[in-house]
Structure 1
């Protein structure tokens, strides 16, 4: 029989890292250090928009004349403004704002006989996300501020607070769809 020395993985880990401390489930974790406190300031070089699909989508819809770096800088600055205004991580706020602004359907006109009818058509996830982002961008363009990133940040926060024109536009769309739901069976 071979003689095997059995060592605990925890002991090996402690011996390899002399200043590492093991925290048992019954113990309270140590207070966070200054390095562990997270700053919610984003800069163009610290925020990689290509990694997050929603931010990538917003960049693509905001981009004009193929200037992706400019659109990425606007989004990074928007995230920084949102972080300053709310003092929280802005990425979940962006997701929540877009989710609140998403419409479920769109209306399409169909001429049948001598009259035109509005036919409600359901939107898939990508279509509703795109429409919500476009509505937010359009509403931010109507704001008075000169800086586009600040306008976008304020508009996203207005959607979250419930006092944005985007939400009234979504409600109006759904109201028209509800009124014309009898036309849903009409073939387009």
Structure 2
């Protein structure tokens, strides 16, 4: 029975010899020389081939230098591969931990002792210090040279004169702006009221531009007459419906016996519902009112005396008559009843005309009693 061969020992021998030699020939020779018997060498030679190919498959640049020599064989100096100082190690640790100088746990590289203080304390170090430090100290202690120059003082007066000349010369743009300001100030009217920067506007704003009085007088008065129980919003809604009805209704057929006040032609009235409403109200508004005075002529007899009315009083009486007449119409909506009554007044079909004519007849009859009112 043939003896057992230790293949692991042969492979280890090949690996050890391949470190000291380079190339396929050295590995082969080392493997062959390490065997004691021809049989063992044969087996080692056969087993060394795959291991040798795997280990020597690296590039030539990784194991050799520029001159073809092994990097491992080069001699190293005595100061190479030394450990870093404590401060450098702390700085490297802080860099890895992303700490900055001055933070808690960070390096304190700036807290070292200056070289000048060490040299002042240690006389031996002062004698043996490098030549570079000696030259630096000698240049600082040189008493023959001065650290400043007096050449700048010679031109001090000249520089001051140049600055004064620059202040006197004004740029053209600045001068133009100054002239514009002076011209604007000269054109200011001395009669401008105190507190106004510019002259107040001469034209007055229209009345409708006021936020609290932006509606026409007739519209506002008619709306207040429509209001019940203080519901102004509902009254404004009804007024809007009335104006919409006047705008969309056909032109009125005006009765020549009961004409409206002078204004635009009848076909153009629906185009302006506010003017349409104004003409209707002012046409049936009474001019006078009859007041009863007791004992004016003596005794207990009552005398009717006509009194003139202002515009607002006349319109109030006309609106009241129109609203009273609209209550007799058969319609469920209040705004529609009032709008139909206004159209009837424009066409001369309303009973409001009769009330107006009746008051005017009474005033014409009682006009002789005006003298008693003047006497009083």
Q: Distance in 1 between matches of 2:341 and 2:271?
A: 17
Identify the structure with bigger relative contact order (alpha carbons < 8 Å, sequence gap 6+).
1
Cα deviations across residues 118-169 of structure 1 (Å, max 9, x unaligned)? Answer: 1111111111111111111111112111211111111111111111111110
Note if contact 1:50-1:56 (Cα within 8 Å) is conserved in structure 2. no
Q: How far 1:64 moved relative to its partner?
A: 0.7
* Paired position in structure 2 for 1:56: 220
* Paired position in structure 2 for 1:164: 350
* Paired position in structure 2 for 1:145: 331
Larger radius of gyration: 2
Q: How far 1:50 moved relative to its partner?
A: 4.9
Unaligned runs of 5+ in 1: 1-48
* Paired position in structure 1 for 2:244: 80
Q: What is the count of residue pairs matched by the alignment? A: 141
* Paired position in structure 1 for 2:306: 120
SS at match of 1:163: coil
SS at match of 1:100: helix
Note if contact 1:140-1:152 (Cα within 8 Å) is conserved in structure 2. yes
SS at match of 2:349: coil
Give 1:94's match in structure 2, choosing from 235, 255, 277: 277
Bigger fraction of residues in strand? 1
SS at match of 1:180: helix
SS at match of 2:291: strand
Q: How far 1:79 moved relative to its partner?
A: 1.1
Q: Distance in 2 between matches of 1:91 and 1:159?
A: 15
SS at match of 1:51: coil
TM-score, structure 2 normalization: 0.36
RMSD: 1.8
Q: Distance in 2 between matches of 1:145 and 1:119?
A: 39
Q: Distance in 1 between matches of 2:281 and 2:214?
A: 18
